[in-house]
Amino acid sequence: MFRRMTRERYLSDAELARFMAAVRARRHVNQPRDYAFFALLANTGLRPSEARALTRGDVRIGKRVWIRVARLHRKHAPKPITDLVLSKPVAVIVKAYVEKLPADAKLFNFTKRQSGRLFHYYRNKAGIAASYRLYAMRHSFGLRLWRQTKDLRLIQGVMGHVRLKASATYVHVGIERLRDVVETLGTVA
């Protein structure tokens, strides 16, 4: 059966906006790096490990800005999408950050633990519940993609899921949200 996605696994649009506002508001030497990192996670569905593995050479800047993601490909799984085009707002953020880096540099030179701590720092600044983890950024994108397209195969390719069952978790979130909305509607008798 499908695994249910609980509320703590994704950020609402308002929470995501507060989170990104907290990242933008920070005055620190690493703020551009943090902003680019979290903008990529929230708007591409990258796994945090995939984002941390990106190098300057993985970012293609031309008429459009896109990134090449190193994803695991298994023999019997559909081929995941490895070239992701960035939306214009995210492209501006990433381009501004990347252009200052040397040609062979890693984009985000921090560890798994450091990226988790950064998320917790900004999560607390934004006033978001402590139950959320870094992967909530990825799940938030998956849910937004489901709401926009209703296409599980597209979600599977973009998110790099091996099985369609993994992509189907976003359908349950949509159904739970529908139930919540219907319950808040008044009845007409």
**Per residue, what are the HEC states of 31-93?**
HHHHHHHHHHHHHHCCCHHHHHHCEHHHEEECCCEEEECCCCCCCCCCCCCCEEECCHHHHHH
**Domain 7-184 listed as CATH 1.10.443.10:** yes
* Cα dihedral sign, 114-72-156-58: positive
pLDDT per residue, tens digit, the chain (189 aa), is 444 555 558 888 899 999 999 999 999 999 999 999 999 999 998 889 989 999 998 898 888 888 888 765 555 555 666 788 888 999 999 999 999 999 889 999 999 999 999 999 999 999 999 989 999 998 888 888 888 888 888 888 788 787 778 777 777 666 666 666 667 776 565
Please report the pLDDT score of residue 84 as a whole number: 83
Q: Report the alpha-carbon distance of residue 19 to residue 53 in Å, rounded.
A: 23
Residue in this structure with the two tokens 């009845």, named with its chain if needed: 187
Please report the pLDDT score of residue 2 as a whole number: 46
Please report the pLDDT score of residue 42 as a whole number: 93
Please report the pLDDT score of residue 1 as a whole number: 42
pTM of the model: 0.81
